[in-house]
Chain A
Amino acid sequence: MSKKDFQNVSLTVGPALAFLSVFFLAPLVIILLYSFLSRGAYGEIEFTFSLKNYASILDPLYLAILLRSLKLALLTTLFSLLIGYPVALSISQMAGKRQFIFLMLVIIPSWMNLLIKNYAWMVILRRQGLLNTALLTAGVIDEPLSLMFNEPAVLIGLAHTYLPFMVLPIYAALERLDRRLIEAARDLGANRWQTLWRIIFPQSIAGVLVGSILVFVPALGAFITPDLLGGANSLMVGNLIQNQFFQARDWPFGSALAICLMSMVLLALLIYARFAGRVGEERVL
């Protein structure tokens, strides 16, 4: 690298690198260090090295919350895929102008503020909410159902938030699909399902993988959705971390949980990279 090149790189990349080293990397390092310290009697940090925070994660109470987060994130991914795939396929089969309109219709809800989105579901799902009122008025039920403060409510909120992130990459993959292959399959006597499973789906796996990672990762670290729509029995790891920092004042344990969440995210990305490598598509993330 010549002196001039070095100058150019320092001028452009340098400032952001310096800023993020201080306000992104250093904070992460602090969290990592905290996770090996312990909480004093008054919530202060005691500077003695220990692994007990990580051992506490294995406590059945906390482990259950971690496993629930994993389960809800996987279910959100699955649900988004089951709805998102047919949606992406429909859109990819439309004529040019219609395709653009429907694509925008899917994208626009993802611009809605997360807090407002989940609040809206509260308005719909709560005891005196829209759904209960509608069902009562229609005479389907005699008394309001408990639709909120449980796992299905959290699942609805998460799926609503991340569905567009599943549709877009799958659409992008299907849009590139060689249509002649579909015609060839039809000419050779394949029925709809055979065409879908043997011709269309294999060519869209790269999109499915990207969509799955885009849904799974933020769903795993969700805070607002389980906070507003979930109850005591549907907490996720994000709520537990927040609780350790604000109410319980056990920052070292909260930090260990955050490191654990981060490891799960990185593991998901690694698994994704392996699969994506096998599919032979370029890595998007």
Chain B
Amino acid sequence: MMMNTLERRVILYFALIFLYLPAIVLVVYSFNDSRLMLTWQGFTLKWYVQLFTSPETGAALKNTLLVSLSATAVSVVLGALLGIGMHLYEFPGKRLIEALFYLPIIIPDIIMAIALLAFYVVVNLTLGYLSIILAHVAFQISFIAFVVKSRMQDFPHSVIEAARDLGATPFQALYRVILPLARPGVIAGALIAFTLSVDDFLITYFTAGVGTSTLPLRIYAMVKRGVTPDINALSTLILLATLALLYAGLKILHKPGEKHRQNNSMAK
């Protein structure tokens, strides 16, 4: 084993300080009893109280949950079926379709945002909840399909053939065999997609129209008005929620013995 040189270790710790400094600053300032946010003036929870008593933040939170839950509910079905289909079947034009599905992941958000806005104007769809939800589904599908498909890489193909040979209809094979096997990927994909939806600013910003605000839109509006301590409190809460969600997603995805348990549940 090669030892790490001193300079390499210095760069490693510099990088970690660089990566964590912004989060630490926000969390610390969110408890700082000073509106100007210059020096430490003592511990307070008043920014959190202010946040919870703000009707705008409450409405934004409600909108965020409504949008993200609805969008995820739709995209998880479409995305999971897509991931399963792309993993199991070979068909003409598969590579082209695969490229199409990676495009929403690769393409800059700003392009998707303006394209959806232009599309909604052309088809005359009023901007609001529906336009935001449909836009979120459009960028979530690919991520879910990707997670489901990668998680199924070590999927025993022979199991489905066995199910078919034993007389299962395609629907039975899907419901009884494929879905239980794909489940960890589906759950993890849904959690990741939900987080992406909650986090999204740009696409929501373009497809929301007036009057429908989500948490990121609310933060943007607050930040544009100036740096204030209640943004720190809101940021801290969102930070914690995101961490918890993604941690849960990864836990499910990499659960040791998951494969074993699936095989057992299948045997039932």
Chain A residues in the interface with B (C-beta under 8 A)? 1, 4-9, 11-13, 15-17, 19-20, 23-28, 30-31, 34, 83-84, 86-87, 89-91, 93-94, 102, 105-106, 108-109, 111-117, 119-124, 126, 128, 130, 133, 160, 163-164, 167, 179, 182, 192, 195, 217-218, 220-224, 228, 238, 241-242, 245, 251, 254-255, 258, 261-262, 265, 269, 285
Q: Out of B89, B110, B111, B223, name the residue touching A5 (CB < 8 Å).
A: B89
A106 neighbours in B (Cβ, 8 Å): 15-16, 19
B101 neighbours in A (Cβ, 8 Å): 16, 20
List 11 extra interface pairs beyond A13-B82, A106-B16, A123-B29, CB under 8 A: A12-B85, A15-B78, A23-B134, A105-B16, A123-B227, A182-B2, A221-B108, A224-B202, A254-B114, A261-B111, A285-B106
The CB with the most chain B CB atoms within 10 A, among A19, A25, A114, is that of A19
A17 neighbours in B (Cβ, 8 Å): 82, 97, 100
* B86 and A124 contact, CB distance less than 8 A: no
* B11 and A221 contact, CB distance less than 8 A: no
Q: Out of A9, A27, A114, name the residue touching B116 (CB < 8 Å).
A: A27
27 A-B residue pairs with CB within 8 Å: A8-B88, A8-B89, A11-B85, A12-B84, A12-B89, A17-B82, A17-B97, A19-B78, A23-B135, A24-B104, A24-B112, A87-B11, A89-B8, A93-B3, A105-B19, A112-B239, A119-B227, A120-B23, A123-B22, A123-B227, A160-B22, A163-B19, A221-B108, A241-B111, A245-B114, A255-B114, A261-B111
Q: Out of B85, B103, B110, B216, name the residue touching A113 (CB < 8 Å).
A: B216
Q: Which stretch (B44-52, B117-125, B255-263) binds chain A?
A: B117-125
Q: How far is the CB of A272 from chain B (nearest CB, A)?
A: 11
* A20 and B104 contact, CB distance less than 8 A: yes
- A126 to B228 alpha-carbon distance, docked (Å): 12
The CB with the most chain A CB atoms within 10 A, among B22, B89, B223, is that of B22
Q: How far is the CB of A139 from chain B (nearest CB, A)?
A: 15
Q: How large is the interface on B (under 10, 10 to 19, 20 to 34, 35 or more residues)?
A: 35 or more
* A86 and B12 contact, CB distance less than 8 A: yes
- A138 to B146 alpha-carbon distance, docked (Å): 50
Q: Out of B15, B81, B106, B170, name the residue touching A163 (CB < 8 Å).
A: B15
Secondary structure at the B interface, as helix, strand, loop or mixed, is helix
Kindly supply a per-residue 1/0 record for chain B positions 55-87, scoring 1 wherever the CB is within 8 Å of any chain A CB and 0 otherwise: 000000000000000000000011101101110
Kindly supply a per-residue 1/0 record for chain B positions 176-205, scoring 1 wherever the CB is within 8 Å of any chain A CB and 0 otherwise: 000000000000000000010001011000
Q: How far is the CB of B82 from chain A (nearest CB, A)?
A: 4
A91 neighbours in B (Cβ, 8 Å): 12
Q: How far is the CB of A267 from chain B (nearest CB, A)?
A: 13
- A106 to B238 alpha-carbon distance, docked (Å): 19
Asked if B166 lies at the interface with its beta carbon under 8 angstroms from chain A, I say no
B26 neighbours in A (Cβ, 8 Å): 116, 119-120, 123
- A113 to B223 alpha-carbon distance, docked (Å): 14
* B22 and A124 contact, CB distance less than 8 A: yes
B170 neighbours in A (Cβ, 8 Å): 4, 7-8, 11
Q: How far is the CB of A182 from chain B (nearest CB, A)?
A: 6
The CB with the most chain A CB atoms within 10 A, among B7, B11, B97, is that of B11
- A12 to B149 alpha-carbon distance, docked (Å): 12
* B231 and A119 contact, CB distance less than 8 A: yes
The CB with the most chain A CB atoms within 10 A, among B15, B20, B89, B109, is that of B15
Q: Out of A1, A20, A31, A228, name the residue touching B100 (CB < 8 Å).
A: A20
